[in-house]
Amino acid sequence: MGSVADAAADRRPLRLFFIPYFASSHLIPLVDIARFLAVRGVDSTILATPFNAALVRSTVDAAAAAGLRIQLLEYPFPSEESGLPPGVENISALPSSECYKIDHAIPFTRPALEHLLGLHRPDAVVSDAHFPWTIDIARELGIPRITFGAVGLMAYSVSQYVWEKQSFKDVARDDELVPLPDLPHPLLLARSELPDFLLQHTVYGSAIEEVYDADKASLGLIINSFTEFEGIYLDYFRRVFEIKTWFVGPISLIDSESHRRGVRGGGVNPAAVENRARCLSWLSEQKPSSVVYACFGSWSQFSGEQLREMALGLEAAGHPFLWVVREADGTEWIPHGFEQRVKGCGLVLRGWAPQVELLSHAAVGAFVTHCGWNSIMEGVSAGLPMVTWPIGAEQFINEKLVVEQLRVGAKASDSIRSATDSNRTIVKATELARAIGSIMDAGEAAEGTRRRAREFAEKGRAAVEKGGSSDKALNDLIEDIYVWHDNRKTAAGKAVDI
Ligand code: UDP
């Protein structure tokens, strides 16, 4: 009988296929995970439509050129079937109020994905949660499916909790704060702070049910987080929803050199390279920890009125700022005389910024964020206190983790806000300036917030180092897939014996 070591040596590399969703905030971390697994000997293939493949091609090519087994495999985006214009393959190409339309394409991708998976027969499929029916394909092929959840585990847990308990069904007012008992953290949420799809039996009703069923039938869930940040939800999630989770983050701290190089995820944005040079040169002239970096993710948009308040708030806060606005935002909202007044102390950048690289720059001292999960993880990794300005999706839940539970940030506004574009209230310049002051200025409270943020960065670094919790989780994930296959073979053998 061979030893455990022999058995390990006998194992051929796993072949894993990855299916990212059509959003940069899902695509970028999943490609990173595919890459980190390739570093551990996995043969990684990412299935992507042409536009999305182009966004990450330079990252994948560089990894392959460095000797890793990683590749992109393209499949056509079902533009005609889904009624989306040709070339619109990512939510960033749609106005934020219409980004849900990208989901119309998902059912139509099934034949192509089914064909590719059947043709190549990988050992497992790592599927974004948005493609729940990949569980059926995996079953047919006799391979495990693993869910990639592009949000944090607190958000994942609270969403599933709210959906299963229908916690807001009989609540009269949208802005009423409702206690959600039995979660690991005490939590009060207003219905307006949750995305529509968790609340009603809309077109999403059956879809969300399918997503949670597929999660439960999968081998487990991969999350870009780390035990010291959200560990309290690991046991909860397993106990209540019976789903195993591997925390593999903070992703931006694994192989951090390569994250800092180039224009990660901005592969088709012509301004990205130029933006990088401009930011780095400007930051090099600023004092350590003096700059407020403000960026709101890859697809969110604000009204002109809100952008104007934001400009005035950043100016009034009195700290140098680097502010990323979208190209589509136009210029008519720029306050009169603003550019003159902030010359030298404010840089407004249009388009794609090399966010991970900027956050880790010594001159940056705080992060104004919309609380997208990747941004939260990247801010935490850089040890930065955050001003939280959630806009939609699960971002309000993330805000509660950052501000109320872990106390590494301050809210841009204390009023109850809405996750729906049409109901959004304006955050005033004075509110933003006050929030920035509360984490940047002198004083015990602000210093406490900054210290806790630095401590979480240390813990995040330890998690991804050799032997750290996330490093082990990546190994466990590989091992769990091997074990799944071993068990299957054993079960098949037994069936024959009988
Ligand atoms: N990002 C970037 N440059 C930008 C805007 C965004 O590099 O100008 C990256 C950011 O670092 C993060 C991702 O895009 O990795 C955004 O993901 P997040 O979950 O924060 O927000 P979403 O895009 O889903 O709103």
- State pLDDT tens for residues 50-80: 999 999 998 899 999 999 999 999 999 999 9
Taking the C-alpha atoms of residue 143 and residue 160, their distance in angstroms, rounded to an integer, is 25
**Site residues for ligand 1, CB cut-off 6 Å:** 23-25, 28, 264-265, 295, 297-300, 324, 352-353, 355-356, 372-375, 378
Q: Tens digit of pLDDT for each residue in 76-118?
A: 999 999 999 999 999 988 887 788 889 999 999 999 999 999 9
In this structure, what are the phi and psi dihedrals at residue 104, rounded to the nearest 5 degrees? -60, -25
- DSSP assignment of 441-497 equals SSSHHHHHHHHHHHHHHHHHHHHHSTTSHHHHHHHHHHHHHHHHHHHHHHHHHHHHH
Specify whether the CB–CB gap between 427 and 389 falls below 8 A. yes
Question: Does the structure show a pLDDT above 70 at 334?
Answer: yes
Instruction: Please identify, by atom number, the ligand 1 atom nearest to the C-alpha of residue 391.
Output: 25
Per DSSP, what are the bridge partners of residue 179? 188
CA-CA-CA-CA torsion for 413, 418, 420, 421, nearest 10 degrees? -40
Question: Does the structure show a pLDDT above 50 at 286?
Answer: yes
Mean pLDDT to the nearest integer, 279-293: 96
Taking the C-alpha atoms of residue 380 and residue 366, their distance in angstroms, rounded to an integer, is 11
Work out the mean pLDDT of the chain and round it to a whole number.
91
Mean pLDDT to the nearest integer, 159-173: 90
Residue 493: exposed, middle, or buried by beta-carbon count in 10 A (0-12, 13-18, 19+)?
exposed
- 128 catalytic per annotation: yes
Specify whether the CB–CB gap between 87 and 115 falls below 8 A. no
Q: Tens digit of pLDDT for each residue in 221-260?
A: 999 999 999 999 999 999 999 999 999 999 999 876 665 5
- 43 catalytic per annotation: no
Quote the ligand 1 centre to 457 CA distance (angstroms).
19
Taking the C-alpha atoms of residue 213 and residue 215, their distance in angstroms, rounded to an integer, is 5
Question: Does the structure show a pLDDT above 60 at 7?
Answer: no
In this structure, what are the phi and psi dihedrals at residue 73, rounded to the nearest 5 degrees? -125, 120
Helix (H, G, I), strand (E, B) or coil at 130: coil
- The catalytic residue among 32, 128, 215, 471 is 128
Across 310-346, b (16+ Cβ under 10 Å) vs e yields bbbbbbebebbbbbbbbeebeeebbeeebeeebeeeb
Q: Tens digit of pLDDT for each residue in 9-50?
A: 568 999 999 999 999 999 999 999 999 999 999 999 999 999
Taking the C-alpha atoms of residue 90 and residue 357, their distance in angstroms, rounded to an integer, is 23
Quote the ligand 1 centre to 163 CA distance (angstroms).
26
Question: Does the structure show a pLDDT above 70 at 2?
Answer: no
Q: Tens digit of pLDDT for each residue in 402-415?
A: 999 999 999 999 88
Mean pLDDT to the nearest integer, 438-451: 96
More confident residue, 267 or 44: 44
Specify whether the CB–CB gap between 263 and 414 falls below 8 A. no
Q: Could you tell me what percent of the chain has a pLDDT over 70?
A: 93
More confident residue, 300 or 240: 240
Taking the C-alpha atoms of residue 223 and residue 246, their distance in angstroms, rounded to an integer, is 6
Question: How would you classify the pairing of strands 291-295 and 188-190?
Answer: unpaired
Strand order in the sheet with 70-74: 70-74, 43-48, 15-19, 124-128, 145-149, 220-223, 245-247
Quote the ligand 1 centre to 322 CA distance (angstroms).
15
Residue 175 token pair: 């802005």
Question: Of the residues 254, 298, 322, 323, which should be mutated to test ligand 1's pocket, given the most ligand atoms within 8 Å of the CB?
Answer: 298
pLDDT (0 to 100) of residue 282: 96
- Verdict on whether the full-model pTM lies above 0.80: yes
Question: How would you classify the pairing of strands 70-74 and 409-411?
Answer: unpaired
Question: Does the structure show a pLDDT above 90 at 269?
Answer: no
Quote the ligand 1 centre to 395 CA distance (angstroms).
13
Q: Could you tell me what percent of the chain has a pLDDT over 90?
A: 76
Mean pLDDT to the nearest integer, 283-293: 97
Instruction: Please identify, by atom number, the ligand 1 atom nearest to the C-alpha of residue 150.
Output: 19
Confidence of residue 4 (pLDDT cuts 50, 70, 90): very low
Quote the ligand 1 centre to 24 CA distance (angstroms).
7
Question: Of the residues 374, 394, 421, which should be mutated to test ligand 1's pocket, given the most ligand atoms within 8 Å of the CB?
Answer: 374
The region, left, alpha or beta by phi > 0 then psi within -120 to 50, assigned to residue 210 is alpha
Confidence of residue 361 (pLDDT cuts 50, 70, 90): very high
Question: Does the structure show a pLDDT above 80 at 272?
Answer: no
Mean pLDDT to the nearest integer, 459-479: 97
**Nearest protein CA to atom 17 of ligand 1, as residue:** 25
pLDDT (0 to 100) of residue 351: 87
- The catalytic residue among 26, 130, 319, 361 is 26
Taking the C-alpha atoms of residue 192 and residue 169, their distance in angstroms, rounded to an integer, is 13
Instruction: Please identify, by atom number, the ligand 1 atom nearest to the C-alpha of residue 369.
Output: 20
pLDDT (0 to 100) of residue 1: 40
Mean pLDDT to the nearest integer, 457-484: 97
